Every structure is written in C-alpha cells, then in structure tokens.
C-alpha cells in the first residue's frame, strides 16, 4: 500500500507518518523509486502500537522508542519483551535499567522478600519501594503482613492479566495488549478496591453505633 493508504487504514495523517519514519518509530517501506515506498500490514500494526503508547499510555517519545527498539531487536523471551512494556509505563524518575544501583535498602529488601525473581531491581519493584517509602514518610507504615496479603491477592489478578494467549500473539500485538490492559484496567482495579471497602464496611461496621461519652465524663 502507498503511504496515503496507510494513512487511511490507521487514521494517522501523512505528515505524522513521515515524522514516525524520520524518528525511526516506523520501519521504512519497500522502496519503489527515489521518493516512493510501499507499506504492508506490519506498518499498520506498528503505527497502531505507537498511537496506543502515545495516546492511551501517554508516553513521551523516548519511552515509545524503548518499546520500538525492543520490537526491532527483541530479547530472548516473551517475558522480557513484555517487561519492556511495564518499564515504558514506569513513573517519571524511575530508570529503565533493572540492575542500576541503589537496590540494597531496607525497603528494596522488603520488595525482594515477596519472592519475585529480580523483583527488587525491576522498574515495578522500584515503583513499589517508592510507594512504601512515601507512605512511611507520611506516617502510614505498611506491615509485612499487609504487604504479603496484598501481593498474593494481586498475584491472582496478574494470572488473568498475563493470559496464556499472549505467548501466541505477534510481538506488537502482545505489547499493545499489555499496554492497553495496564493503562485501561488500573482505574478499574482501584475502583473495585473502593467497592470492596464499602461492602466490608457494611458487613463489619453498619450496625456499630457511634459511642458517645457519658455526661460529666471527659
């Protein structure tokens, strides 16, 4: 297909497609002359992925490039490839490098104790450690028992997220699935926690009347 047809199929302007080509976010088409090239379904898939990362994931250009580079030079396993998607979605200030220094802190050791291979060193592990440190600094200490309970509950959720069919998807489709699944369902999981709190509160506290001090007692 011509670049005009690629634009029609993806809903992305020709100017934007040319920008993607210049920036290396979209691989070149098959040359048909000095100024013409033909594109195929792999270009459609790549454009849709880039748009997902930029529009849904709201990732800056350098994060999108991390994902594209991984697709162009894929790591050894699908686990590592999908890890790139999580790294790209990391909060600002957390490095993409899993093995970067600073892991030997009490909080990072707590994260490692959850039993996830490399969990204290990956971007997700660092994000968890930062959140624990922020809570502690505000005077809200999360106990080891709480942390373990939450982890086991969300591990069950993750078994739904990391669906077996991801192993059989094209790399770009799998990456898009993980990004969309993470960005679009995180708010649902947060809302479900609120709903569950209401349900448990009704069960445990609805019949508990507020205790008023007796007259004359401080």
Q: Looking at the 3D structure of the chain, how many domains does it have? A: 2
Predicted structure pTM score: 0.72
Residues 197, 109 share a domain: yes
Domain contains 214: no
pLDDT digit string, tens, across residues 102-145: 567 899 999 999 988 777 778 888 889 999 999 999 999 999 99
pLDDT digit string, tens, across residues 164-205: 998 888 888 888 888 888 888 899 999 999 999 999 999 999
Residues 189, 118 share a domain: yes
Q: Report residue 175 as tokens.
A: 């990456």
Express the helix, strand and coil content of the chain in percent, nearest 5 each.
65, 0, 35
The Cα 163–Cα 3 span in angstroms is 34
Domain hosting 6: range is 1-39
Domain contains 135: yes
The Cα 42–Cα 26 span in angstroms is 10
Residues 44, 34 share a domain: no
The Cα 168–Cα 73 span in angstroms is 18
């Amino acid at each position: 297909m011509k670049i005009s047809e690629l634009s029609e199929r993806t809903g992305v302007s020709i100017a934007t497609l040319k920008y993607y080509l210049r920036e290396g976010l979209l691989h070149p088409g098959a040359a048909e002359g000095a100024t013409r090239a033909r594109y195929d379904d792999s270009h459609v898939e790549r454009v849709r992925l880039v748009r997902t990362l930029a529009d849904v994931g709201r990732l800056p250009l350098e994060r999108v490039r991390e994902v594209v580079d991984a697709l162009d030079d894929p790591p050894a396993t699908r686990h590592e490839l999908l890890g790139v998607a999580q790294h790209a979605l990391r909060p600002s200030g957390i490095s993409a490098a899993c093995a970067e220094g600073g892991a030997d802190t009490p909080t990072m050791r707590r994260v490692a104790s959850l039993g996830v291979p490399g969990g204290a060193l990956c971007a997700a592990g660092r994000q968890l450690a930062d959140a624990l440190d922020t809570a502690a600094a505000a005077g809200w200490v999360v106990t080891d028992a709480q942390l373990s309970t939450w982890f086991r509950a969300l591990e069950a959720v993750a078994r739904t997220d990391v669906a077996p069919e991801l192993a059989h998807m094209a790399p770009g489709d799998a990456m898009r699935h993980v990004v969309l699944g993470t960005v679009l369902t995180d708010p649902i999981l947060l809302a479900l926690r609120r709903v569950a709190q209401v349900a448990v509160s009704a069960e445990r506290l609805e019949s508990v009347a507020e205790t008023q001090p007796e007259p004359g007692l401080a």
